[in-house]
Structure 1
Amino acid sequence: MVKQALITGANSGLGLATARALAQRSFNLILLCRSEQKGRAAQAEVQKANPAVRVDLVTADLADLNSVRQAAAHVKTTYDRLDVLINNAGYTPAKLEFIDTIEKSFYSSHIGHFVLTHHLMDLLKTTAAQTGDVRILNLSSAAYLGGRTARFFRRIDDLSPTFAYCDDKLANLLHAKELAKRTAGQGITAYSVHPGAVRTNFGADTPGFLGKVFSLAGPLMRTAEKGAQTSVFLAAAPLKAIGASNNGGYFADSQPKKVYNRDATEEKAAWLWEKTMPFV
């Protein structure tokens, strides 16, 4: 059977590069994008990478949970399998915005992906029961180092956009950690991924010092194709190559890495899960 992957934020940058690479590895793809227009362009590009696979588009805004639930319901009624879920979408906020007192990039990057994953879990478990191998990938970043769980779910008006982004990436890492624990023994594995410093439009609107760093570092950064390699490895490599003991782990350059953040604990991961569940 042909494997099927769903990738959020697949219309540009890392998401698009990951979709192209998986198409070339004969995966059928579901591209989940906010903009239908950009999504259609990406769909055509990914299809060109391998005309033999199926490439479908689903639109949803991760900052709008009704839209996320509707997209998940559509996927569950349209498809009978989902082998890989890649929670890839994310952005560096140019300025602070809030949804129900929660910083918007955290809302979409963590809560939106949590709700999507929750509502797709039945389909993921059905597939895992048949294949014994379903994978969930959360795009994190080395920026998790600056994340603090004490800031999660709180309106902090003077929070810097940089630290808001760091919090998102820590949440993505903790979500993968807890997912691995809660699905253990069910044929599902979960990982968080640092793609490296990637040359995309990412950070283009970021103000101040961090924005200057992004623009100056551009020529030194890796291509989206190179940045996608760890996601592609975790989606497509044999489980043996990834290592059973690395379920729930944090990967960079296709290798498991140690995590250095005092908040990256099993207790904090469980706390975050319980704190996010009311949103589903």
Structure 2
Amino acid sequence: MGIKTAVITGANSGLGLATAKALAQRSFDLVLVCRNADRGKQAQTSVQQANPAVKVDLFLADLADAESVRQVAKAICSAYPKIDVLINNAGYTPKSIEFVEEGVEKSFFASHVGHFILTNGLMDSLKAAGAATGDARVISLSSAAYIGGRTARFFRKLDNLSPMLAYCDDKLANLLFAKELAKQTAGTGITAYSAHPGAVRTNFGSDTLGFVGQALALARPFMRTPEKGAQTSVFLASAPLKSIGASNNGGYFADSAPKRTRNRDITDEKAAWLWERTRQYL
């Protein structure tokens, strides 16, 4: 059994899988949340091989389906009354713009709303760890693409929304969520962070069409490996809190260090608004 328990979404490939392996090697028990059963089982085997001494569990959920997320949160809480780390890693660049039944752009729903539901659904287990050790953490994968995000587009069914702008909005929401989560959980022993992994060489965006897809394909050989890209998530999940810095709770990190953000929509007011706006999906 491991020293701590970490839950990771989108752990079947790329950054999520690299993060899970790295934490297994640091003696974390892992809970992998994946959408596809076959890929999830392959990832489970791969992570277990990274450290046969830890426990590696698999749960299935579709983050674009609110009820699926609610059910998996209940199942994980039942199996794990204490969770030390939650890494909201899953996300994707949409091939084309789609909307879920709730009228929200699908990648935004999966990346932000789904993770909001999951985080709140696991809150009792996170708070239990926070109460026991004073150290539970929630890490949300953002990106430097947050710079192009705009809160004015959130939750709106826009006919002219491009896949790239949708992705930028997703990443801004992830950053704002971490910022507000730190406030919402103040005094519970839970800290929250958002992280930029850098430009990572995975199959992320591999089905993106047009100029953006071509640019990604050309740049992919020069990108970081998933192992390199996972380093900031691993740092935030495993480093002593003193190394992260108490003043950086709710902050945005890249290359394992806090970074200043540059987007006029990153304000306390916008973060609080996003939290309240998303609560209706719980």
Please classify the TM superposition score into its range, dividing by the shorter chain length.
Answer: over 0.9
Match of 2:268 among 266, 269, 274: 266
Paired residue secondary structure (1:109):
helix
Give the SS at the match of 2:122.
helix
1:236 counterpart = 2:201: no
Q: TM-score with structure 2 length normalisation?
A: 0.98
Counterpart of 1:119 in structure 2 is 121
Instruction: Determine helix, strand or coil for the equivalent of 1:271.
Output: helix
Q: Could you tell me how far apart the structure 1 residues matched to 2:184 and 2:99 are?
A: 30
Counterpart of 2:76, as a letter, is: V
* Structure 1 match to 2:140: 138
- Counterpart of 1:147 in structure 2 is 149
1:210 CA drift (Å):
1.1
Q: Secondary structure at the match of 1:81?
A: coil
- Which residue type is aligned with residue 186 of structure 1? T
What is the TM-score of this pair, normalised by structure 1? 0.99
Unaligned runs of 5+ in 1: none
1:190 corresponds to which residue? 192
Match of residue 42 from structure 1: 43
Segments of 5+ residues of structure 2 without an aligned counterpart are none
Structure-2 separation of matches of 1:93 and 1:163: 10
Quote the Cα distance in structure 1 between the aligned partners of 2:220 and 2:93. 15
Deviation >3 Å, runs of 4+: none
Secondary structure, aligned partner of 2:7: strand
Match of 1:78 in 2: 79
How far apart in 1 are the matches of 2:67 and 2:238?
A: 31
Matched, 1:164 2:173: no
Task: Give, in angstroms, the shift of residue 208 of structure 1.
Answer: 1.0
Matches of 2:190 and 2:33, distance apart in 1: 21
Q: Corresponding residue for 1:250?
A: 252
The one-letter code of the counterpart of 2:34 is C
Corresponding position of 2:225: 223
State the Cα distance separating 1:230 from its structure 2 match.
0.1
**Separation (CA, whole Å) in 1 of partners of 2:38 and 2:52:** 20
What letter matches 1:121 in structure 2? Answer: M
Aligned length: 280
> How much has 1:80 moved relative to structure 2?
2.3
One-letter amino acid of the structure 2 residue matched with residue 125 of structure 1? K
Equivalents in 2 of 1:23, 1:230: separation in Å?
16
Question: How far 1:79 sits from its partner (Å)?
Answer: 1.3
Letter in 2 for 1:146: G
Q: What CA distance in whole angstroms lies between the structure 1 residues aligned with 2:178 and 2:210?
A: 31
- The residue that corresponds to 2:9 in the other structure is 8
The CA distance in 2 between the partners of 1:261 and 1:210, in whole Å, is 22
